[in-house]
Amino acid sequence: MPVRQILLLNVLVFITVIGLSLLWELHLEALAIHHHDNPTEVLEDILAPLFYVVVALIAPNYFLFRFGRGLAADAERRLQDSERAIAAILNNAHESIYLLDPDGAVRLSNAVGARQFGRNAEGLKTLNFIELLPQPARDDFRQAFDGTVRNHDSRLLEVHSGGSWRENSLAPVLGEDGRVRQVLVVCRDVTQRRSALATLEHETHTQQAIADIAHMALEDIPLDEFLARALDRVLNSEVFGGSMKGTLFLADPTHHTLTLKAHKNLDCQLQNRCAELKFGECLCGRAAQSGAPLFQAHVGEGHDIRPDGMEDHGHYILPILKDRAVLGVLNLYVPGGHPQNDAEMVALRAIADTIASAIHTKQAEQELDRHRRHLEELVDERTREAQEKTLRLEAALAREKQQGELQRQFVSLVSHEFRTPLTIIDGAAQRMIRRGAKATPDEVATRAGKVRGAVKRMTNLIETTLYASRLDEGKIAMHRGDVALETLIRDIAKRQAEISPDHTIALAFDDFPATIPGDEGLLDQVFTNLLGNAVKYSPNSPKIEVKGWRDGGDVLVSVSDHGLGIPNKDLPFLFKRYFRAATAQGIPGTGIGLNVCREFIHMHGGRITLESAEGQGSRFTVRLPARDGTGAPNSPVAPAP
């Protein structure tokens, strides 16, 4: 029955008693007025109401007594049901549950909690819970327990002991006065949860490292830079419990060698010793040779390279494979005695596979870039060749056009050149015919001299033309011998004087050798042409000067005139075939002679130079070697004495 109904019943009883008391007082006053002279009636009148009052008081209390006994039985039954329910909850719970006094003594525990300490629930009572804990967890639990008792708050504490993790939940049980009466402790085994979280965290770190390395592979950076950054990312990750030390090698499958491409915190001695390793050499070489990952906890067998003072350490060594081909080796250092961890090995193999894909891609990009550059070079080369061929063709066409024009001019000039001596010969012959027997010997000699001069002129023209043609065909051969050059030049000057009696040829030779090596016929053609030009282009200046001198191992011969000279703009082209200077207009000539002279001089290992000023004359200087295999054909021309 609810407490409110009990209180209401008591209130009604109280009101009834009060009411009866008031009625009794009124009754007594009435008796005193009406029956004061009969005592018996008065007594009856007094006892009758008193009886009803007593009945009125006893009846409610009786009913209250019966009602209270029912409430107590019901409460007892409810309490027993609650205890059985609580006991069922405690004994069927998977967690260890304890009710502790403020001093740590166990007041209550479930079966799971008792079995945790190898006891039953009764045997665990009154024992100090904190003293039952292993030493590593005892201090942390005591601190949390005291805080709960002192601050009346709940605490959550994870304790590691015996290879397992337990989560302890502490909650205060307060009394009516607000003080802590007990502390409820619930212990849960969270070892599997911790392991799952650790595995998840490890996989997260692994996937993040893989994602970062894959992102680096997409950047436009050289392969060596990528390898250095990838190694740094692995060493800075939480994938394995290693040190910040490692190396990364690239493999050369053709020569079966490993080349160190990236390293971190590697001393100089190891950098030099490990710069290049053969497959099978040391741990990294063995991993490359076998294609299988290696783990070593200490420096021991397999460490072929051991510098002095090497500290104890271990390794995770993973070959970097792509389609079973070894692309490189990833070598990570761990502290000596580090246990092999399967999760670490799996994560590192996944990272090595990512690096392998990146290396394969980068190498393919490098090969593609190399082919692209090669193709560009080929295209550029073919383009240059095409451009050069086009330029050569255009130049050839221009030369052909120029050659045609020059040849046309040459034909015109040759026709004129041949016509002039033929006219002289014809005129002399007609004069001699007309004179007949009347001609004197001197007159005949004069006419004959003119005919001979015209014939010589025609002969030189024909020979020069033939020489030019034979030069083009490569049919001119030198017949080298000893040439008395001074004598040859004097004979040429004598012939020229006979042809041109109005000109004076002054000869001067100083310390000139008796002979030089050369072809007399070719040299005759050279100096005949030079003397002929000097006379031809000096119509109003009869003095011609020829000088010869020695300069070291060379001889030099200069032919100077004081005639028309050559304009500066024409000087660079004067030795080109068929070219004639502007000052030569109206003067017979073919433009072949100087070109032939230069070629003949070059065949002798010499050179020819020109100094000229328009209106002042010209000076041609020929330098020739004085001995076989000697001379300085490219030396500056020494000044004439």
Minimal CA–CA distance to 160: which of 195, 191, 196? 191
Give the pLDDT confidence score for residue 477 in this predicted structure: 72
Indicate whether 490 pLDDT > 90: yes
Interatomic CA distance for residues 514 and 330, integer angstroms: 84
Interatomic CA distance for residues 77 and 622, integer angstroms: 146
Indicate whether 316 pLDDT > 80: yes
Q: Compute the mean pLDDT over every residue in the chain, rounded to the nearest whole number.
A: 80
622 falls in which pLDDT band (50, 70, 90)?
A: very high
Interatomic CA distance for residues 308 and 369, integer angstroms: 44
- Pairing between strand 313-322 and 180-189? unpaired
Contact 561, 537 (CB under 8 A): yes
**336 vs 474, higher pLDDT:** 336
Indicate whether 323 pLDDT > 70: yes
Interatomic CA distance for residues 309 and 321, integer angstroms: 33
Minimal CA–CA distance to 508: which of 414, 607, 640, 413? 640
Q: Average pLDDT in the 267-277 region?
A: 89
Q: pLDDT tens digits, residue range 37-94?
A: 555 655 555 565 556 556 655 666 666 666 667 777 777 777 677 667 766 766 677 7
162 falls in which pLDDT band (50, 70, 90)?
A: low
5 falls in which pLDDT band (50, 70, 90)?
A: low
Q: Which helix (H) or strand (E) holds 504?
A: strand 504-510
Spell out the residues 6+ positions from residue 168 whose beta carbon is closer than 8 angstroms to its own: 141, 144, 155, 156, 157, 158, 159, 185, 186, 187
Give the pLDDT confidence score for residue 60 in this predicted structure: 61
**516 vs 458, higher pLDDT:** 516
Interatomic CA distance for residues 206 and 544, integer angstroms: 100
Give the pLDDT confidence score for residue 310 in this predicted structure: 83
Spell out the residues 6+ positions from residue 273 whose beta carbon is closer than 8 angstroms to its own: 305, 307
Q: Percentage of the chain surpassing pLDDT 70?
A: 75
Give the pLDDT confidence score for residue 83 in this predicted structure: 61
Three-state secondary structure string covering 348-415: HHHHHHHHHHHHHHHHHHHHHHHHHHHHHHHHHHHHHHHHHHHHHHHHHHHHHHHHHHHHHHHHHHHH
189 falls in which pLDDT band (50, 70, 90)?
A: confident
Give the pLDDT confidence score for residue 640 in this predicted structure: 42
1 falls in which pLDDT band (50, 70, 90)?
A: very low
Minimal CA–CA distance to 6: which of 57, 59, 64, 62? 64
Interatomic CA distance for residues 239 and 602, integer angstroms: 81
Neighbours of 119 (CB within 10 A): 16
Q: Percentage of the chain surpassing pLDDT 90?
A: 25
CA dihedral 346→347→348→351, nearest 10 degrees, is: 120
Give the pLDDT confidence score for residue 474 in this predicted structure: 63
Written as six digits, the tokens of 485 are 């050059």
Give the pLDDT confidence score for residue 172 in this predicted structure: 85
Q: Which helix (H) or strand (E) holds 324?
A: none
Indicate whether 417 pLDDT > 90: no
Neighbours of 248 (CB within 10 A): 27
Give the pLDDT confidence score for residue 230 in this predicted structure: 92
Q: What are the C-alpha distances in Å from 464 to residues 208, 526, 528, 600? A: 90, 10, 11, 12
Q: Which of 36-40, 195-199, 264-268 has the lowest mean pLDDT?
A: 36-40
Spell out the residues 6+ positions from residue 434 whose beta carbon is closer than 8 angstroms to its own: none
Indicate whether 199 pLDDT > 60: yes
Interatomic CA distance for residues 490 and 492, integer angstroms: 5
- Please give the single-letter amino acid code of residue 470: R
261 falls in which pLDDT band (50, 70, 90)?
A: very high
Minimal CA–CA distance to 101: which of 157, 148, 156, 154? 148
Q: Which of 116-125, 149-158, 528-537, 548-557 has the lowest mean pLDDT?
A: 149-158
- Give the predicted TM-score (pTM) of the model: 0.47
What number of CA atoms fall less than 13 Å from residue 578's CA on the CB side?
A: 17
Interatomic CA distance for residues 48 and 19, integer angstroms: 16
Give the pLDDT confidence score for residue 484 in this predicted structure: 94
Q: Which of 118-127, 328-337, 465-474, 541-550 has the lowest mean pLDDT?
A: 465-474
CA dihedral 36→39→42→43, nearest 10 degrees, is: 150
Give one DSSP letter per residue of 617-639, joined into a string: EEEEEEEEESSTT---TTSPPPP
Give the pLDDT confidence score for residue 635 in this predicted structure: 38
Give the pLDDT confidence score for residue 587 in this predicted structure: 76
149 falls in which pLDDT band (50, 70, 90)?
A: confident
DSSP state of 229: H
Q: Average pLDDT in the 315-331 region?
A: 92
Interatomic CA distance for residues 597 and 590, integer angstroms: 13
- Please give the single-letter amino acid code of residue 291: G
Q: Average pLDDT in the 112-135 region?
A: 80
Q: Which helix (H) or strand (E) holds 334?
A: strand 325-335
Contact 229, 216 (CB under 8 A): yes
Exposed (0-12), middle (13-18) or buried (19+): which is 375, by Cβ within 10 Å? exposed
- Please give the single-letter amino acid code of residue 414: V
Considering 5-14, 139-148, 568-577, the range whose residues carry the highest mean pLDDT is 568-577
Indicate whether 184 pLDDT > 70: yes
Give the pLDDT confidence score for residue 64 in this predicted structure: 61
Q: Taking the CA atoms of the chain, what radius of gyration do you get in angstroms?
A: 66
- Pairing between strand 246-252 and 257-264? antiparallel
Interatomic CA distance for residues 357 and 135, integer angstroms: 51
Tell me, rounded to whole angstroms, the distance of Cα 464 from its chain centroid: 68
Query: What is the biggest distance separating any 2 CA atoms in the chain, rounded to whole angstroms?
Result: 239
Q: pLDDT tens digits, residue range 18-39?
A: 666 666 566 556 655 554 455 5
Indicate whether 200 pLDDT > 70: yes
641 falls in which pLDDT band (50, 70, 90)?
A: very low
Contact 516, 625 (CB under 8 A): yes
- Pairing between strand 504-510 and 543-551? parallel
